[in-house]
A and B are shown apart, each in its own frame.
Chain A
Amino acid sequence: MGEEALESPLPCRKHCWVREHRGVTATVSPLEQLSEALRIELGVQAVTDLARLSGGASRETWGFKADDRPLILQRQRTGDTRDMGVEARVVQAAFNAGVPVPELIANGSGDIGLAFMILSHVEGETIARKILRDEQFADARTKLVAQSAHALAALHSIDASTISGLPSIDQVQQYRETLNNLNQALGQAHPTFELAFRWLERNRPTSTRTALVHGDFRLGNLMVGPDGLRAVLDWELAHIGDPIEDLGWLCVRAWRFGASQPVAGLGDYGTLISEYEKASGLNVDREVIRWWEVLGTLKWGIMCMVQTSSHVLGMSRSHELAAIGRRVCENEYDLFVALDGKW
């Protein structure tokens, strides 16, 4: 969610100090331990340049070089309930299906982390505002909608039954429960969200198609170079569902990052639909995209409420989180725009 701030690597100063000043040679810093575990896992001569790139309490991303080959480590710590093994199987299946993804080098559990994946490093930019505005991506911007549609068509062609452990949940019901809990905790009711839920219930697509869905396909999770889409990242929300969910999510206004075009801030619905139809050989109903865009907008609004509740309820005091509560009406406005003339 959003663009994570970079965090500096965290070498263990205390242990290094102990070694330098008391001559305790047996003490190895956590950074050195991780480096050695990676060297053994990969069977390489040397692991160098190990540095944390980002991460929260439950999941971290590290960059390093294995015998000069740049690689990425993603590791899970206690508290993350998702199974990274599923994500690794999804990345491998996507790679096999020709979706542009980093190559899965290794995965497992043990000394490296509660669970981990080692992936090839793909050079490029993920920050949406740069991709949408910087001159070096001008050419990429003209290609990205078509490339995204083609990547999604390839992804949705994967036989999801070959990947074990994928969740399949009713998101309307899931977010209904989340909103109920938030309304109770925050003491506020949201008539707009109730209207949107009512509309979603009364207009649910009679879709019979299910597929492997990425679940968070948008700028921010796409590695982009001056030549366009290089890799689809962040597969942790992959699940089984209606593939049109990925198309609708890509059109949610929050993922336009201030640009005016509806599809990722880059193109129009017609281009997304025609390119996806061309690549998949399947017809796409604009109204089904709308249904998923409405659900996506509603989901994002409820996620904003979750964020502001962590301030209001005292878990994490911050005026930034407080301010997000007053952005919920932006999502409400977006729902009225998406449903203009469709209620």
Chain B
Amino acid sequence: MPHDVPTAAQLIESVREWLEKDVLTSTTGRVQFHSRVAINVLAIVERELAVGEQQALDHAERLAILGMKDDAELAAAIRNGDLDDRFNEVVELVRASVLDKLAVANPSYALPTSND
């Protein structure tokens, strides 16, 4: 690692904590709303730094199961109907990728909701 302490994650964390402690409490209205958004953005980056590398490996593994080199190739194959005979398998693999994205972007979103 060519850099000194703090790590990238710790730097982001320090700014997020400052936004939470000082900015959020001393602003109102539009600026307060935008500082809340900024806190969320930094929290996303922190989560991505923590798990992104492993997620990238898992994602590549799922693509390999389907014989695809990247999302663009997978998307094209779905669009052209080339994977229609493996549709349920594709659905499960893509679902796993979406759950990974959600775990970084908004972990509290995947709550049980009624579908009836």
List A residues at the B interface (Cβ < 8 Å): 5, 183, 188-192, 194-195, 197-198, 253, 260-262, 268-270, 319-320, 322-323, 326-327, 329-330, 332-333, 336-338, 340, 343
Number of A-B contacts (CB under 8 A): 89
B115/A195 in contact, CB under 8 A: no
Segment touching A, from B4-12, B20-28, B49-57, B100-108: B100-108
A189/B74 in contact, CB under 8 A: yes
B79-116: CB near A (< 8 Å → 1, else 0) gives: 10100100110110011011101101110011001111
CA separation between A279 and B116, bound complex, in Å? 21
25 contacts between A and B (CB under 8 A): A183-B75, A189-B70, A189-B74, A191-B75, A191-B94, A194-B74, A194-B75, A194-B79, A195-B91, A198-B84, A253-B113, A262-B113, A262-B115, A268-B116, A320-B37, A323-B37, A323-B40, A326-B106, A329-B101, A330-B102, A330-B105, A330-B109, A333-B99, A333-B102, A343-B88
Q: Closest approach, in angstroms, between the C-beta of A330 and any C-beta of chain B?
A: 5
B30/A5 in contact, CB under 8 A: yes
B30/A329 in contact, CB under 8 A: no
| Chain B residue nearest in CB terms to A198 | B78
- Residue B71 at the A interface, CB < 8 A? yes
B75/A189 in contact, CB under 8 A: yes
Q: A194-B79, A260-B113, A343-B91 are known contacts. Are A330 and B97 too (CB-CB below 8 A)?
A: no
A191/B71 in contact, CB under 8 A: yes
Main secondary structure of the interface of A (DSSP, over half): helix
Which residues does chain B contribute within 8 Å of A330, judged by CB atoms? 102, 105-106, 109
B22-60: CB near A (< 8 Å → 1, else 0) gives: 000000001000100110110010000000000000000
| Chain A residue nearest in CB terms to B41 | A323
Q: A198-B81, A320-B34 are known contacts. Are A329 and B71 too (CB-CB below 8 A)?
A: no
Which residues does chain A contribute within 8 Å of B65, judged by CB atoms? none
CA separation between A333 and B97, bound complex, in Å? 10
| Among all A-B residue pairs, the 5 with the closest Cβ atoms | A189-B75, A329-B101, A194-B78, A189-B72, A326-B105
Q: Closest approach, in angstroms, between the C-beta of B81 and any C-beta of chain A?
A: 7
Q: Which size class do B's interface residues fall under?
A: 35 or more
Assuming A260-B113, A337-B115, what are 14 further A-B pairs, CB within 8 angstroms?
A: A5-B30, A189-B74, A191-B74, A191-B75, A192-B94, A194-B74, A194-B78, A262-B115, A262-B116, A319-B41, A326-B105, A330-B102, A336-B98, A343-B87
CA separation between A186 and B40, bound complex, in Å? 22
Q: Closest approach, in angstroms, between the C-beta of A83 and any C-beta of chain B?
A: 33
Report which of A183, A191, A198, A327 forms a contact with B105, defined as CB distance below 8 A. A327
CA separation between A13 and B95, bound complex, in Å? 56
| Chain B residue nearest in CB terms to A190 | B75
Q: A269-B116, A330-B109, A337-B115 are known contacts. Are A191 and B97 too (CB-CB below 8 A)?
A: yes
Which residues does chain A contribute within 8 Å of B113, judged by CB atoms? 253, 260, 262, 337
Q: Closest approach, in angstroms, between the C-beta of A250 and any C-beta of chain B?
A: 15
A338/B115 in contact, CB under 8 A: yes
CA separation between A269 and B116, bound complex, in Å? 6
Which residues does chain A contribute within 8 Å of B88, judged by CB atoms? 343
Which residues does chain B contribute within 8 Å of A189, judged by CB atoms? 70-72, 74-76
B94/A195 in contact, CB under 8 A: yes
Which residues does chain B contribute within 8 Å of A336, judged by CB atoms? 91, 95, 98
A261/B114 in contact, CB under 8 A: yes
| Chain A residue nearest in CB terms to B88 | A343
Which residues does chain B contribute within 8 Å of A340, judged by CB atoms? 115
A326/B44 in contact, CB under 8 A: yes
A195/B41 in contact, CB under 8 A: no
A195/B102 in contact, CB under 8 A: no
A333/B109 in contact, CB under 8 A: yes
B40/A262 in contact, CB under 8 A: no
CA separation between A269 and B34, bound complex, in Å? 36
CA separation between A340 and B76, bound complex, in Å? 23
Q: Closest approach, in angstroms, between the C-beta of B104 and any C-beta of chain A?
A: 8
Q: A192-B94, A329-B98, A343-B87 are known contacts. Are A198 and B79 too (CB-CB below 8 A)?
A: yes
| Chain B residue nearest in CB terms to A201 | B81
CA separation between A319 and B39, bound complex, in Å? 11
Which residues does chain A contribute within 8 Å of B84, judged by CB atoms? 198
Which residues does chain A contribute within 8 Å of B102, judged by CB atoms? 329-330, 333
